[in-house]
Amino acid sequence: MSAQAELLTQNTEAHSYRPPYKKWYQLPGTGFDVGKQIEQLQTDLNEGINNKSYSTILEDWSNKLRQDVYGFSLEYLRGNAFLPFKLAIRPYKNEHRLVPDRYGEKPVVDLIDPRERGGSVKKGVEKVEELLLNAPIGSIVVRTSPPGRTDLFVDTEQGKKEIVYHDTQTQIYEKSGITEIRSYTIRTTEDQMDLEKNEQLLKTLGASKVLFFFDKSLRERLAFVSGLNIFIHPHSQISVKDIVNQMSQITGNRAFGDVSFDKVLTDMNHFEELIQIDDLTLSYTNTFLNFAQNLLMEYHEEILLNQRIPLEVVNHLEEELGKMILELFMESKNIYDSENAQERNNMNLAYFRRLPNSNMALILARYPHGPEAYYQQALTELQTKPGCAGGGESDSSDLTQNQLSTAFGLRSMTLENPVDGKTKKKNECTGCHQEMNESLFHCPGCHKNFKPPVGNECKCGFTKEQAATQGMKVC
């Protein structure tokens, strides 16, 4: 799945029917996972086959896809740092739960991977639900997810890799009605909002500083921060805007990429408008969905009998979905990359309306080697978008996909070698919790070598304070 600002499941294990990233139309190295969209359809079929009609299952999946494509458009095509989402308090299995609006019926908590950061993320979202269910209107809950290791692993051709986030996503939940929740996700780049600044934000908003004094490893700090929630009662008169202004002060008014917090605040004032899918994205997505639903209805008897989508249908759906995303990207970049705002406003939307293969004459005129040349060119350009694999400033050979759909939107990420007690390649200082490149620590007191972390005092009695008096660099 992909992701409008919130609440997408993290399923990093490939289904057996889905081939690995080999085809260009699966959009490897971009911010949109074509294969997982079709996996979601198979999941919806498995879960709803006994209590929903076939057409209802397809319509539910279609609604999710619309939101996912729109989330991709907001984050990658427009480069938004602010991502809006709505939640609702609704009955689910005889109890009131917090569920995403217009994205299925499962509670928010059920969409969180229990493995992420030792389960702290899921526990944190459980607490969000608990706080908001009975909170007065106007209440706010803030939580943040810093960059760093995640405890989420995927199998690659190079072996098992760990997902590492390279951005911060801060979620602000505002109870705007008895059963309505506004969710504001704000993206900040790693260099502007690292772990320390995430901790600073939480302290500024009321988290007890004592909580951060305990000696924790880097993983423990990441888990602790990711699971912490700040509840703000309406009597405090602290607004969502006040929280964003605090973030602006901490980051120097820079959010994600070149986007300022001034732009974030402006977008937040247009929350209801941004919630609505724009005409361009909607028209492209609906065109694909018309094709997909016709194809799936053609195979519905076979699918219902075997309770599995045939591989040839999966491949066909993936190819057409990949093409649609690339066509949307190539057309929309003419709008969103234009420096002339008036030119953007004056563009005739009908010009950008494309039916599958209806523009092949134009494509072939520009790309005489065939339509695949057009799509390959589009894929190459999409991969160079900031945050996409192959683009931006990253040239890591381990980078296979620089985006992960999570419960809080798309995350900039890389796949890196696992680091644990047996395979640790980098060392962490227990004083400042920064990674140290040295493989051994040489104590000037006893002249012995030790594997870090070594703490504040060597076994021989030589202390960090003594090292400082001798001019050594300490933390």
Mean pLDDT of 294-308: 92
Residues 299, 399, single domain; the answer is yes
Q: In which residue are the tokens 């971009």 written?
A: 30
Domains identified in the chain, total number: 2
Of residues 397 and 222, the one with the higher pLDDT is 222
| Integer Cα distance of 82 and 245 in angstroms | 14
Residues 436, 400, single domain; the answer is no
- Tens of pLDDT, residues 423-449: 333 444 444 444 544 444 556 555 555
- Model confidence at 4, pLDDT cuts 50, 70, 90, reads very low
Residues 439, 397, single domain; the answer is no
Residues 176, 192, single domain; the answer is yes
Residues 228, 242, single domain; the answer is yes
Helix (H) or strand (E) holding 303: helix 300-306
Lowest mean pLDDT among 84-88, 146-150, 301-305, 406-410: 406-410
| Integer Cα distance of 77 and 88 in angstroms | 28
Mean pLDDT of 25-43: 88
The per-residue pLDDT for 223 is: 95
Residues 123, 258, single domain; the answer is yes
State the virtual CA torsion across 297, 23, 1, 354 in degrees, nearest 10. -60
Residues 445, 398, single domain; the answer is no
Residue 449: how many other CB atoms lie within 10 Å? 11
pLDDT, mean over the chain: 78
Residues 282, 391, single domain; the answer is yes
| Integer Cα distance of 139 and 238 in angstroms | 9
User: Could you tell me how far CA 221 lies from the centroid of its own chain?
Assistant: 20
pLDDT at 459 over 70: no
Q: Count how many Cα atoms sit within 13 Å of the Cα of residue 254 in the half-sphere of its side chain.
A: 13
Domain C-terminal end among 406, 422, 438: 422
Residues 347, 443, single domain; the answer is no
3 state SS of 161: strand
Its domain, for residue 288, covers 1-422
Residue 18: how many other CB atoms lie within 10 Å? 18
Of residues 193 and 74, the one with the higher pLDDT is 193
> b/e per residue, 301-310, with b = 16+ CB within 10 A?
eebeeeebbe
Residues 334, 298, single domain; the answer is yes
Residues 213, 265, single domain; the answer is yes
Residues 431, 365, single domain; the answer is no
The conformation of residue 193, written as its DSSP 8-state character, comes to S
| Integer Cα distance of 450 and 443 in angstroms | 8
| Integer Cα distance of 16 and 309 in angstroms | 12
